Amino acid sequence: MFSKACEYGIRAVIYIAANSNEGRRVSLKAIAKHIDSPEAFTAKILQILVRHNIINSVRGINGGFEIEKQNLDVILLADIVKAIDGDQIYKRCGLGLHACSEAHPCPVHYQFVTIKNGLRTLLETTNLKTLALEVNSGLSFLKI
């Protein structure tokens, strides 16, 4: 569904969001440990997310990553996926073709459209606040 980089990115952002929601900034080391991801690779992904203004970074002692609390409800899962994998997941043809589409739909075209719309809706309606609250309430677990 998503690339590994994107999965790490989603998990990292959820972890950062859950902590930002409670006023804590978290370090790369803590993030990688909690989401069970390779530290250096995770750093690269976080850099992408910083450049896309999805998360903020602070260097130096007591530095780390955080998300402004007022942004927790406006940042969507779709923003993370788009920043890392692009938005072709739910735009491309399911069979990898290019030109047929609506004009000459194959037998599975509309089923694929439905599936991709479902995915788009999921990504575009789920904000970080929702996910952060879930983690804060102890109901979901990011690691393993």
Partner DNA sequence: TTAAATTGAGATAATTTTATCTTAATTAAA
Partner DNA sequence: TTTAATTAAGATAAAATTATCTCAATTTAA
Q: Which residues bind DNA (CB under 7 A)?
A: 3-5, 8, 27-29, 37-41, 43-44, 46-47, 50-51, 57-65
Q: By CB under 6 A, is residue 71 in contact with ligand SF4?
A: no
Taking residues 108 to 127 in sequence order and writing x for each that binds ligand SF4 by CB under 6 A, - otherwise, the string is xx--x---------------
Q: Which does 137 bind (CB under 5 to 8 A by kind): a second copy, DNA, ligand SF4, none?
A: none
Angle in degrees, CA 12, 17, 20, rounded to 5: 125
Partner residues linked to 58 by β-bridges: 64
Angle in degrees, CA 18, 21, 23, rounded to 5: 115
Residue 54 CA, distance from chain mean position: 10
Phi, psi of 64 (to 5 degrees): 145, -155
Calpha distance 144→141 (Å, rounded): 8
Taking residues 2 to 41 in sequence order and writing x for each that binds a second copy by CB under 8 A, - otherwise, the string is x-x--xx-xx------------------------------
Taking residues 1 to 40 in sequence order and writing x for each that binds ligand SF4 by CB under 6 A, - otherwise, the string is ----------------------------------------
Calpha distance 134→117 (Å, rounded): 24
**Structure letter (DSSP) for residue 136:** H
Least distance (Å) from ligand SF4 to the CB of residue 107? 8
Q: Which does 41 bind (CB under 5 to 8 A by kind): DNA, ligand SF4, a second copy, none?
A: DNA
